[in-house]
Amino acid sequence: MAEAFAAVEIIAAKRDKGELTDPQIDWVIDAYTRGAVADEQMSALLMAILLNGMNSREISRWTDAMIRSGERMEWSAVKRTTVDKHSTGGVGDKITLPLAPLVAACGGAVPQLSGRGLGHTGGTLDKLESIPGWRASLSNEEMLKVLQDCGAVICAAGAGLAPADKKLYALRDVTATVEAIPLIASSIMSKKIAEGTSALILDVKTGNGAFMSDPLKARELAQVMVELGERAGVKTRALITAMDVPLGLTAGNALEVRESVEVLAGGGPSDVVELTVLLAREMLDAGKIKPLMDPADALMNGAAMDHWRRMILAQGGDPDAALPVAKEKIVVNAESSGEIIEMNAMKVGVSAWRLGAGRSRQGEKVQAGAGIEIHAKPGQEIKAGQPLFTLHTDEAARFERALEVLDGAVRISSTGEKVERLPLILEKIER
């Protein structure tokens, strides 16, 4: 069968700053998914998109073509309104773990299809897999059952969901085209729209530890994604949130699960609690769900913890099992006394990754117990010799490179210098 277009013509059109037509976009996504367009041709097109951009019609059509490459989830059998959250990722960002059961406890249904970590940002599935017995891969029937029984499910997206994105994601990773806003937005939103949720809250991180470190770029990405969601009939809002300092006091899989459980038990670090409650309220509001109780109350009265336990059990996990602990640990102490002025989130994230908490290529195994505990954060006083970080890994040989990147991650001052931090929420974007 003759192909409707030639890939080289489409590449040339975008290379020369032209607009791609709807039929061209439909064809190139479909042809690439079925192997009729080669990786080197799609690589050239992705680079042309990165350099010359796309207008909102092109991005919307590209996203739509990616959704049509696979199946769409359907939750009409669920009696509650479905709402979801997506974070662009950061260091110590374990918010999904307490948030999904919290929203379920307040009356929403959360079908959270999550991913694995790559590089310095952790993946939700990697974190949950540190719980003995917990399964990330569920069939669509199992997913629906867990959602109906527990009000929330966190699992891996099936192979049938936006298969074009899986191929493109792997290609972007090896062709230095990850940063293109049209490609980021379409990648995230094709999966979230295909997931079939009625409302979506986007948590777009900015600051040194975020994928979009520049707040203006983060804002642009948020606006494009909100428009894509609304065009597809999904009530979409975005919050631009701080990632200049790690979230909470842990970075690493089992360490972050432990902290999430503390939050669900009514404790935990104040920034994690504040962002979790805030996102829960936004999700309930966007879904027009009359809450059974306020999210802050659901954390204090045990309702969110009940839903967490049921959700973990339903996916084969043991919520009472001891979490894995790394074989080796060392403590990093403060070298001087004073107030902590800065803590570079990116450096902490890369250090946790070098300890074995993350992966440098798809499919690599991560260590469940590896990571970093943070003992003091910006705004706190510390004395020389007091613990600043505890580093955890199964392989002592990893300490050297992890410590190397932590050098200069923290600045301590005794001169009364002001701590300059981004506000937790920089901006809210909705249409």
Place of tokens 């379920």: 104
**Which residue out of 26, 84, 93, 165 is catalytically annotated?**
165
Active site residue 165: yes
List b or e across 333-363, with b for residues whose CB sees 16 or more CB atoms inside 10 angstroms. ebeeebbbbbbbbbbbbbbbbbbbbbbeeee
**Which residue out of 167, 191, 235, 347 is catalytically annotated?**
191
Active site residue 392: no
Geometric angle at alpha carbon 14, from 12 and 16, rounded to 5°: 70
**Which residue out of 87, 187, 260, 351 is catalytically annotated?**
187
Q: Crossing angle, helix 270-286 and helix 253-264, to 10 degrees?
A: 70
Beta-sheet strands, E only, within 235-376: 235-242, 250-251, 328-333, 338-343, 371-374
In Å, how far from its chain's centre is CA 289?
A: 24
**Which residue out of 85, 86, 310, 392 is catalytically annotated?**
86
- 133-141's contacts with Cβ under 8 Å and 24+ in sequence apart are 133/316, 133/317, 133/318, 133/321, 134/312, 134/315, 134/316, 134/317, 135/315, 135/316, 135/317, 136/315, 138/315, 140/73
* Cα–Cα distance measured from residue 261 to residue 274, given in angstroms and rounded to the nearest whole number: 15
Active site residue 172: yes
Place of tokens 């409650």: 277
Let me know: does 388 contact 410? Beta carbons within 8 Å. Answer: yes
Taking alpha carbons only, the member of 376, 371, 373, 389 closest to residue 333 is 389
Q: Residue 239's beta-bridge partner residues?
A: 203, 428
**Which residue out of 172, 219, 354, 398 is catalytically annotated?**
172
* Cα–Cα distance measured from residue 31 to residue 80, given in angstroms and rounded to the nearest whole number: 38
Q: Crossing angle, helix 56-68 and helix 215-231, to 10 degrees?
A: 60
Handedness of CA 292, 298, 304, 307 (dihedral sign): negative
Active site residues: 86, 165, 172, 187, 191
